[in-house]
Amino acid sequence: MSTLEQVKTAPVRTEGVRGWWESARTFLTEVRNEMSRVTWPSRREVYGTTLVVILTAAFFGLYLWGLDLALTWVINSFYRAFGAAA
């Protein structure tokens, strides 16, 4: 039986504080079981992906900054050409 089937068929107790306590206990037990199945990345993988994210963010930041400067120049040139410059 899969975990999903267990969750679907698990009885839900709504009898005051005791029902809440049992639900919380069941939830935490299931969390602990799921966390034991997680495959955690190695330090090298975390370093590599962090570096990729930082470099990508820097690249697109510079790209968008340059694009903004170019479009600002084009729009200002257009306004100057048609006499609407401030």
Q: What are 64-80's pLDDT values in tens digits?
A: 999 999 999 999 999 88
4 or 82, greater pLDDT: 82
pLDDT at 82 (0 to 100): 87
Domain spans in the chain, listed from the N-terminal domain onward? 1-38, 42-86
> Cα separation of 37 and 34, whole Å?
5
pLDDT at 21 (0 to 100): 85
Spatial contact of 61 and 45, defined as CB atoms under 8 Å apart: no
Q: What are 1-45's pLDDT values in tens digits?
A: 556 555 555 555 556 667 788 889 999 999 999 999 999 999 999
pLDDT at 1 (0 to 100): 53
CA distances to 26, 27, 35, 43, 74 from 46, in Å: 32, 29, 18, 5, 42
Residue type, 47: Y
Dihedral class, residue 10 (left if φ above 0, else alpha if ψ from -120 to 50, else beta):
beta
